[in-house]
Chain A
Amino acid sequence: MVGSGHAPAMAITMTRLARGGWVGLARGLECLRALPALSDASILAPRPPTCHGCVSGPQGRRGLSTGEKDGTISSLATSSVGRSDQGSTSPRFYKRATAARDEENEGLWCVKLDGRKLRTPSLKVSWTPIGYKTQVADPLLPILAILQVLHLPNAALAHAIAVEWEYQSTSSIRAFTMPLMQLATTATDRTPKDRNENGKDRDHPAVSFTTAATIPSLSAADALVTPSVPLHRVQSCHSAEVHSL
């Protein structure tokens, strides 16, 4: 999970990455470093990979026994938090994570785990043609459940996400240490779906912010009320909301 304090900077970073290539990446990193709370979770190593379509992440960093405080994802992945398998969804099933051009879609990038393309979590279900031939409403009509390849708009974001995967420990994969991956899958899986379902976006939570909640009320009474709600509680609420989007 993206920690509540990390969410804004990660979102900015992803936008910068999605928009701006390496210049954008530099700006995104500036944003990350600007936020003290992020010092332990800045997403990129100090030496970001510079080659295109090749291995990302320095060799030999996985499985360090002690946490380093160099402010990178590697320190998070190998810190005391990182050493625990708590929050792990599966053991590490790949050796190397790399970024590569997607040969089937020109201009797009993808992340490869041992040469296999990384896919997003949501299933896309499609019917096989067999059912149409028989024209019988067969309840056992075979379906194909396909995981979609995670397409990324440019090299910078692909490398950044490859780094997140590369720095997982040898024993476990923990999604909460991969905030950019999370944002990217939200952007590719959930956002298009939600925007379609909501038609004009009018009912989307982001749009509802434009009404009463846009500007918090200013009265002294409000000041007395507001602090009684612990900010971190509010934040974690919103954070959960983001991930259930």
Chain B
Amino acid sequence: MDEPGTKLADAHRDGWKPVLDYFNDDLGVELNKNESFIPEDQPQESIDKLGEYLRGLDDWEFTCVYVLSTAVKSLLLARSVLEGKVSIQEGKWWQGFLSERYAAPTDRQTD
């Protein structure tokens, strides 16, 4: 269910827009945005294009994309960081947002 106007939704929109735009401009990949916790598949065409991109990488680059994607939890962010479109700090914005906004009780300072 969409809940526009919440801080989280705004942060997501602002954070992801440059990344999605980059993929659309660079690889012609269009991706579905999903605002539900029920997973939604991406268009087959987009998956194919991304797959083609990944197959085009050499083993060194592929290893790096894999390590990065597991570290920042997203192939899109990983590639953007690797290609220098997004800085590491920007790539980690999602984690930063979470820990700032919803830090675990033991870590929480003031609320």
Contact = CB atoms under 8 A, between A and B. Distances in A.
A112 B32 CA distance: 49
A217 B74 contact: no
B50 A219 contact: no
A123 interface: no
Interface residues of B, number: 61
Interface residues of A, number: 59
A217 B65 contact: no
A129 interface: no
A206 B54 contact: yes
A179 B47 CA distance: 31
B55 A217 contact: no
Most B Cβ at <10 Å: residue of A10, A190, A209:
A209
Given A8-B81, A200-B55, A238-B73, A221 B64 contact: no
Interface string B1-42: 111001011001000100000000000000111111111111
Contacts of A15: 60-61, 64, 82
Given A34-B89, A211-B41, A218-B35, A206 B59 contact: no
A210 B51 contact: yes
A7 B67 contact: yes
A201 interface: yes
Interface of A: 2, 4, 7-12, 14-15, 18-19, 27, 31, 34-35, 153, 183, 186-188, 190-192, 195, 200-202, 204-207, 209-223, 225-227, 230-231, 234-235, 238-239, 241-242, 245
10 contacts: A27-B84, A34-B87, A191-B63, A206-B65, A206-B70, A210-B46, A211-B47, A220-B6, A220-B9, A221-B37
Interface of B: 1-3, 6, 8-9, 12, 16, 31-42, 46-47, 50-51, 54-55, 59-76, 78, 81-82, 84, 87-89, 91-92, 94-95, 98-99, 101-104
**For the complex of A and B, 8 pairs with smallest distance between CB atoms:** A212-B39, A227-B102, A209-B75, A187-B63, A218-B35, A11-B67, A11-B64, A238-B70
